[in-house]
Structure 1
Amino acid sequence: MEEFIGGLWDKLITRTAYRGFPKVRVDLKEIERIAPIFFRALGGDAGLTIRAGTATAHGARRKWLERVAGVGERVELAWLDEATLHLPAWLEIFPERSQNRELYLWLIALAAHDVAPDANWIVRNQEATKAALQALPGMQERYRRLLDAALAQRPDPASLPPLDAAAEISIRAALCQPGSIADFMPGKNPPAPVPLWLHPEPPVALGEQRKAGQSEPQQPEGSKVSTDAEKRKRRAEAVDAPENDSPFMLLFRAESLFSWAEYVKVNRPLDEDDNDNAAKAANDLDFLSVANDGKTTASRIRFDLDLPAESDDDFMLADGILLPEWHYRKQQLQPAHCRLQMLVARDAEPCPLPPALRATAKRLRNQFQSLNTAPARLKGQVSGSDLDLDACVRYAAEKASGAPIAEPGLYIDSRKQLRDLSCLLLADLSLSTDAWINNSARVIDVIRDSLLLFGESLAATGDRFALYGFSSVRRQNIRFHLLKGFDERYSDTIRGRLAVLKPGFYTRMGAAIRHSAAILSKQKTSRRLLLILTDGKPNDLDKYEGRYGIEDTRVAIQEARRLGLTPFCVTIDEKAGDYLPHLFGANGYVVVKNAAELPQVLPRLYVQLTGAN
């Protein structure tokens, strides 16, 4: 009964003290589709992703009831880092739902016009506000409504101590007339948070960076894995694992316990226990301390990522192919920065198509055989089934001008012509393809079946095509696997190479795309399609992750387009929408949500991309 009454009292006082308006709450999920488009349309950095941040302690004065209830200590604000725009996971600041939604749009506009990122907090936000209002006159009325609502919630300067009151007056002046405050004198206490501005002290990661090659902790098999519903970006600090070597344990006497069952070693992993309040506890922490105690699943299942011995490795066809790489911080191309090795499988024996794929392959071959010749409409013919209106009008005008001219071809004729097309498919063979997608198949198995069916289909069309795979271990070891070259006939030899595909290492995608583009650009066809099949974003051990890898891949794709190629990405990564639009454009990729359907989807997608009916 006491716990029940205490719970009711806690809910009552918390609800009374809380300043927000939960009934009109707007979640970031509700605008997550339009937010990236809106941000980039306003001129924001196209390489940034948008995701929820984390609440931080603001340190400002709170009302007495808030202190009693233990609420109001933390606030969610927006901030930028080099890879992400962090927005509040939800907004319930204002009493109207439309105002909370408009606040999201305003924060996106403010971040897109962050013109003085190195200035102090108050100057930076004033400059961003001025730039946003000047560039977007339609936002001025919205900003005024949000400003009125925000000022109504801010503390009255008359109720504050002199120093705090002066700071509050400066903030109000900066909000009402952006650019009017050049110097900010902080009060004795931090000022009340300003939800219309970017974070005064954006959270940063603490502790040492994760060492290259150090694996992340794995979830134990068979356990229930819960995900963060808000997908927050949390602040973390690397710490050493606590040691249980306290000298006071020498004074411990086991007979002092009531029973052995009551003794619990506190510092231990309990893989079988689920903590239902873990997410709530994480939200209450300023920093998540992460320690590597050497006892995670990652230490029980050890992946050896060293390169195999030469006697056990694939045959090396070419070594030391030097390729450049883009350094996005320096905004320059680093020449001869990567070394690529051309390999072919050592243990690949010629083999027929697996029986499980034969029925599907037969159906695809029958469908694709009709594409080996495509009807073409030829203009300017002396005879044909239709008139060429452009040629007729041009001939009539020239004849009316009095100029002597022979009658040109005035007809359009439909004829069968060979398809003038070449395609190179580049498959990601990184270690992540060793993951299971269901009880019977891994990602690498799905990729293998996809390549086999893709080869069967294109062999029926007569189109020129090549198949390659890649993985990497740092910039000096980019492994580029020959599966089928343009000059090779699709046969049991090629099927044998595909049958022995296995997961490799990491995903240095930029170098693989550059070499693939160089191979494809040598084909003398009118259309050249570069298909990239992957299951994740670019990454490698030596700083090739995050924004660095994304930007290098983007530049490599731009280089391929300048060569007259058409890059297109097929991925099974559910999070691809965060980075692929920046790499390939809105129409340059497709996400296959069910990885098991990839073998059937890939040939159909090829038909759509090549414009065949």
Structure 2
Amino acid sequence: MEEFVGKLWHKLISRAADQSHAQAAVSLNEMRTAVGILFRALGGDGGLRVETATATEHGARRRWLQRIAGSGTAVELAWRDGETLRLPAQVALFPERGLNRDLYLWLAALAASADDEQNLPRPWLARNQVLTKRVLKRYPGLQSRYARLCAAQLALRPTPDTLKPDEAAQEQAIQQALRDPGSVVTLPPARRAPQPVYLWLHPSPPGQTAVGGSDDDDADESGGKTSDEETRKRHGERVDATEREAGLIALRMENLLTWGEFVNVNRATEEDEDGSSAPLEMETLSITRNKRTVASRLRFDLDLPSSEYDDHALGDGILLPEWDYRQRALLKDYCLLQPMLARDVVPLELPPHLRRTAQHLRRQFEALTQNRTWLRAQPDGSEMDLSAWLEFAVARHSGHPIREQGLYRDFRNNQRDLACLLLADLSLSTDAAVNNEQKIIDVIRDSLFLFAEALSAVGDRFAMYGFSSRKREHVRFHTLKDFDEPYDGAIRGRIQAIRPGYYTRMGAALRQASRLLGRQPAGRQLLLLLTDGKPNDLDHYEGRYGIEDTRQALHEAREAGHYPFCVTIDQHAGDYLPHLFGPGNYVVIRRPDELPRQLPLLYARLTGN
């Protein structure tokens, strides 16, 4: 009974202290697309991802109801760093839904203009005034929207007359800066921090320390969906491990069901999953690495197999550059790409479950193959073109000057002048299940089979390769079919032998694929990437770094005259593929099990069949 009354009291007092307007709430999921488009349209960095901000303590004075309820200590404010634009997960600040939507758009515009301020730090008050003036000057259409938001924000702020003198002076300066950006030079000092300003960027965003991240930590290749709560940015710090075995342990029973600000998590040795949501509610996570030597432990580090059991390595490897967006420089000979060939391949027939679909595709593509035709008015050929000769004779007899050219015809194959290289992602994430019967790697394997069947029927030149990686010193590049090899049982054996492993250093694989494609004497060269996720690797090849290196590799491919196109089953691909490939140069397959049938048809549309 006592517990029931306590819960009821907490619920009532929390509801009374809550000043948000749930009926007018707008979530970031609703606004993510619009915010991303506006942010990039106004000149924001196209490589930034739109993610959820974490709530941080503001230190301002709270109302007495909030103090009783223990709420209102933290607030979600917008901020940005080198990789993300962080916005509140939900805005329910104003009673009108339209105003809450406008706040998201205003914050995106403000963050887009902050590019010019990244290397010129200013105090919080001055910086946000400069950004506000810049946005209103560059985009006059936002002035009416800002005026409405400013009036609504001022209505929620405390009246200076009700505050202590130092806090009142601070509040007056902030309100003046909101009404007339640029009119306030400095923020008067006060014993307490001011109330949060929701129309401005965060005064002190969370630090850039990655919680639990290091060069030798396992990268996330699960490909699973993450919620807004899981993508929040948090403070992180490294601390020394506690000596669990030294002395007696004083245990307080009331702490059994709670979390403190220190979490003794040994990431290097523990792999137990804790279902508690308490870490998600904390602002700062303290992570420790146990420095003790463990005699025997199992660590999932994806070590390379011995050469006895690994695929054949072709040569000593190929040195390739890599783009460092922070230095804005191409690091020469930075990656080592190792061409590989499957070991002990057995020639195979097409798997029985694909034969009916393959027959249908072959009939479709054979029907699209252009037959041998007579080419008229040729400068040379197998026989005289009587029509062209008659036109020439009549013109010469009439006295019109005409050169003797194009008087022959020839019977030739009218083949298309193109070559295609298909590059398949074979990273560890392809080991995930698609349904009860198939994994992603099975879907990719079937797609390669049907793709090869269709292109061999139409007669186009094509090659197929797979790739994975383990840091920059070992980028595996598997040869499935070279341009000069016929499609036969041996090629099918190589396709059957593919298996998931390691990570996704996409830039190096794309550079090698572009080199191979550039050697083909074809007028049109298609570079087709088949993947299930974004670039990543064990080292620093994560997030923005991997995205920018891949983008640079694609830019190099276009400069070489190639046409890159991406086919993906990643449902979150819309967050990064427009930045990589540009609009219209990628497609997301919503149902992965349809990929084998859709891939050849997509190729037919891309090549103009």
Give the TM interval when normalised to the shorter protein.
0.7 to 0.9
Question: Residue 191 of structure 2 aligns to a residue in which SS?
Answer: coil
Measure, in 2, the Cα distance between the counterparts of 1:345 and 1:218: 23
Letter in 1 for 2:234: R
**Cα 1:565/1:313, change in 2 over 3 Å:** same
SS of the aligned residue for 1:467 comes to: strand
Letter in 1 for 2:577: L
The answer to whether the aligner puts 1:336 opposite 2:333 as a matched pair is yes
Distance in 1 (CA, whole Å) between partners of 2:559 and 2:229 is 40
Partner SS for 2:414: strand
Residue number in structure 2 paired with 1:567: 564
Counterpart CA distance in 2 for 1:169 and 1:320 is: 66
Q: Shift of the alpha carbon at 1:348? A: 1.3
When the two chains are superposed, the root-mean-square deviation of aligned CA atoms in Å is 3.4
Contact 1:206 1:236 in 2 (8 A): yes
- Letter of the 2:130 counterpart: E
Q: Are the counterparts in 2 of residues 428 and 535 from structure 1 also a CA contact under 8 Å?
A: yes
One-letter amino acid matched to 1:531 = L
1:176 aligns with 2:179: yes
- Give the equivalent residue in structure 2 for 1:30: 30
Report the Cα distance in structure 2 between the residues aligned to 1:448 and 1:140, rounded to whole angstroms. 55
| Kept after mapping to 2: 8 A contact 1:428/1:469 | yes
Q: Report if the CA contact (8 A) 1:372-1:463 is conserved.
A: no
- TM-score, structure 2 length as denominator? 0.85
| 2:487 is aligned with 1:490 | yes
Selected match of 1:305 from 302, 309, 314: 302
The farther-off stretch of 331-340 and 140-149 is 331-340
Instruction: Provide the C-alpha distance between the structure 2 equivalents of 1:557 and 1:129, rounded to a whole number of angstroms.
Output: 36
Which residue of 402, 406, 419 corresponds with 1:422? 419
Higher mean alpha-carbon deviation, 334-343 vs 200-209, is at 200-209
Q: Distance in 2 between matches of 1:94 and 1:77?
A: 15
Identity of aligned residues (%): 53
1:105 alignment counterpart: 105
Amino acid at match of 1:152: A
Are the aligned partners of 1:421 and 1:463 in contact in 2 as well (CA < 8 Å)?
Answer: yes
Secondary structure at the counterpart of residue 248 of structure 2: helix
Q: Deviations over 1:434-481 (max 9, x none)?
A: 222233322222211111111111110100000011112222222111
Q: Which residue of 1 aligns with 2:529?
A: 532
Matched with 2:44 is 44
Cα distance, 1:315 vs structure 2: 2.3
What is the deviation of 1:137?
Answer: 0.4
- Tell whether the 8 Å contact from 2:324 to 2:545 is kept in structure 1 after alignment: yes
The answer on whether the counterparts of 2:53 and 2:86 sit within 8 Å (CA) in structure 1 is yes
Q: Does 1:151 align with 2:154?
A: yes
Distance 1:2 1:474, change over 3 A: closer
Quote how far apart the aligned CAs of 1:607 are.
1.3
Q: After TM superposition, give the deviation of residue 162 of structure 1 in Å.
A: 2.2
Partner of 1:348: 345
Residue in 2 that maps onto 1:398:
none
Q: Give 1:605 shift.
A: 1.3
What does residue range 64-79 of structure 1 map to in structure 2 within 5 Å? 64-79=64-79
Structure 1: which amino acid aligns with 2:200? W
Structure 1: distance between partners of 2:17 and 2:271: 37
Mapping of 1:50-199 within 5 angstroms?
50-114=50-114, 115-117=116-118, 118-199=121-202
TM-score, with normalisation over the residues of structure 1? 0.84
The structure-2 alpha-carbon separation of the partners of 1:301 and 1:586, relative to structure 1 and needing over 3 Å to count, comes to farther
CA contact (8 A) 2:217 2:538 kept: no
Deviation sequence 1:534-556 (CA, Å, 0-9, x none): 11111122311111111010010
| Cα distance between partner residues in 1 of 2:88 and 2:245 | 42
1:386 alignment partner in structure 2: none
CA distance in 2, matches of 1:203, 1:246: 34
Unaligned runs of 5+ in 1: 220-224, 258-262, 382-402, 410-414
The match for 2:382 is none
Q: Deviations over 1:104-143 (max 9, x none)?
A: 1100110011132322211211111111111110000110
Corresponding residue of 1:260: none
What letter matches 1:232 in structure 2? T
Identify if the C-alpha distance between structure 1 residues 250 and 559 changes in structure 2 by more than 3 Å, giving closer, same or farther: closer
Measured at CA, do residues 416 and 370 of structure 1 come closer, stay the same or move farther in structure 2, by a change above 3 Å? farther
Give distance in 2, aligned partners of 1:217 and 1:482: 26
Residue aligning to 1:203:
206
Comparing 502-511 with 176-185, greater Cα deviation is found at: 176-185
* Partner-residue secondary structure (3-state), 2:444: helix
Say whether the 8 Å CA contact 1:324–1:335 is kept in structure 2: yes
| Letter of the 2:82 counterpart | E
**Alpha carbons of 1:204 and 1:271: their partners in 2 closer, same or farther (altered >3 Å)?**
same
| Helix, strand or coil at the partner of 2:85 | strand
**Aligned mates of 1:416, 1:42 — CA distance in 2:** 51
**Match among 323, 331, 347 for residue 320 of structure 2:** 323
Q: Cα–Cα, structure 1 residues 484 and 68, in superposed 2: closer, same or farther, change >3 Å?
A: same
How much has 1:39 moved relative to structure 2? 1.0
C-alpha contact (below 8 Å) 2:43/2:112 kept by paired residues = yes
Mark the CA change 1:51 to 1:250 in structure 2 (over 3 Å): closer, same or farther: closer
Report the alpha carbon displacement of residue 160 of structure 1 after superposing the two structures with TM.
Answer: 1.9
Task: Report the CA distance shift for 1:16/1:404 in structure 2 as closer, same or farther (over 3 A).
Answer: farther
Contact 2:35–2:108 (CA<8 Å) still a contact in 1?
yes
Equivalent-residue separation in structure 1 for 2:251 and 2:139 (angstroms): 71
Superposed, 1:408-557 pairs within 5 Å as: 417-557=414-554
Shift of the 376–330 alpha-carbon distance from structure 1 to 2, 3 Å rule, reads: farther
- How has the CA–CA distance of structure 1 residues 316 and 563 changed in structure 2, closer, same or farther, with 3 Å as cutoff? same
Partner of 1:609: 606
Task: Please say if residues 218 and 301 of structure 2, whose CA atoms lie closer than 8 Å, have aligned partners that are also in contact.
Answer: no
CA distance in 2, matches of 1:608, 1:200: 51
Question: Does residue 582 of structure 2 align to residue 585 of structure 1?
Answer: yes
What corresponds to 2:389 in structure 1? Answer: none
Query: How many Å apart are 1:561 and its aligned residue?
Result: 0.7
SS in 2 for 1:529: strand
Q: Using the alignment, how far apart are the partners of 2:325 and 2:33 within structure 1?
A: 27
Distance 2:91 2:497 in 1: 52
Note if contact 2:113-2:131 (Cα within 8 Å) is conserved in structure 1: yes
> Does the 8 Å contact 1:372/1:419 carry over to 2?
no
Equivalent in the alignment of 1:391: none
Look up the match of 1:393: none
Relative distance call for 1:310 and 1:35 in structure 2 (3 A) is: same
Unaligned regions of 5+ residues in structure 2, if any? Answer: 379-399, 407-411
| Aligned-partner Cα distance in 2 for 1:457–1:199 | 55
Distance 1:318 1:226 in 2: 39
State the alpha-carbon separation in 2 of the partners of residues 108 and 479 from structure 1.
40
> Residue 228 in 1 paired to residue 227 in 2?
yes
Q: Deviations over 1:279-315 (max 9, x none)?
A: xx45542124456789xxxx98754522233333322
Amino acid at match of 1:565: H
Change (3 A) 1:33 1:447: same
DSSP 3-state at the match of 1:32: helix
Q: How many residues align?
A: 565
Q: Specify the code of the residue in structure 2 equivalent to 1:341.
A: Q
Task: Quote the Cα distance in structure 2 between the aligned partners of 1:558 and 1:229.
Answer: 32
Q: Deviations over 1:569-593 (max 9, x none)?
A: 1112222121111101121111122
Specify whether residues 230 and 270 from structure 1 end up closer, same or farther in structure 2 by C-alpha distance, changes over 3 A only: closer
The answer (yes or no) to whether the contact 2:133–2:182 under 8 Å persists in 1 is yes
Residues 424, 466 of structure 2: 8 Å contact kept: yes
* 2:393 aligned residue: none
Are the equivalent residues in 2 in contact too, given 1:234–1:287 (CA < 8 A)? no
> What whole-Å deviation, never above 9, does each CA across 1:7-48 have from its counterpart, x for those lacking one?
443333322222221121111111122221111111110000
Q: Give the letter for the 2:87 counterpart.
A: L
Q: Deviations over 1:246-285 (max 9, x none)?
A: 6335999xxxx9xxxxx9999999979855xx2xx45542
